[in-house]
Homo-oligomer: A and B are copies of this chain.
Amino acid sequence: MKSEQVLVKKVNLTKKQKELIERIGIFMEQQGLPPAVARICGLLMVSDRLELTFEEIYSTLNISKSAASNAINLLLNSHKIEYITKPGDRKRYFKVCIDQWEKMLKERLQGFSSYISLVEEIHNQRTKSTKTFNASLKDAVGFIKFMSKEFPLLYEKWQKSKK
């Protein structure tokens, strides 16, 4: 009476790694990503092997295939992960895009300038009688404009400082 052998290819993780995955997960959830998505990113960031298969991902994280599939596609679409293939192997090997963090950071800085037109419009539409308030709004616009002009320069400066 052989018991059914269910072999799941989980990735071996230390306690520390598991803990770190959770912390990355929480962090990324705060950036607006769903839990499963966040933890997949975490796993791909901390695991010793950088390229993991679909099965390794969902079985290691104990999430369903469907959850994994949707999450992975979301991450692929937003270019946070990518995959490679190997000759004579049907599987895809998923890994985080190497510049993911840098991209996230840059995005965050730029998303910033989306404020401009809105605040500007509020300023233009306002009654002229609220001088102080309007001045403060105008100031905000100035600040954003200043920043979005300086960021690229700062980025360049950093690039140079690396060399």
- Chain A interfacial positions (CB closer than 8 Å to B): 16-17, 20, 23-24, 27, 32, 45-46, 48, 50, 98-99, 101-102, 105, 108-109, 112, 114-115, 118-119, 121-122, 125-127, 129-130, 132-133, 136-137, 139-140, 142-144, 146-147, 150, 154, 157-158, 161-162
Copies in the complex: 2
Other than the given A108-B112, A143-B158, 16 more pairs (CB < 8 A) read: A16-B125, A46-B122, A48-B126, A48-B127, A50-B130, A99-B136, A101-B137, A101-B140, A102-B136, A102-B139, A108-B108, A109-B109, A142-B158, A146-B158, A147-B158, A150-B154
Pairwise interchain contact B23-A126, C-beta atoms closer than 8 A: no
Pairwise interchain contact A48-B129, C-beta atoms closer than 8 A: yes
In the complex, how many angstroms separate the beta carbon of A110 from the nearest chain B beta carbon? 11
Q: Provide the residues of chain B in CB contact with A115, threshold 8 Å.
A: 101, 105
Q: Given A99-B136, A105-B112, A118-B27: A126 and B158 within 8 A (CB)? A: no
Docked pose: A147 CA to B133 CA in angstroms: 31
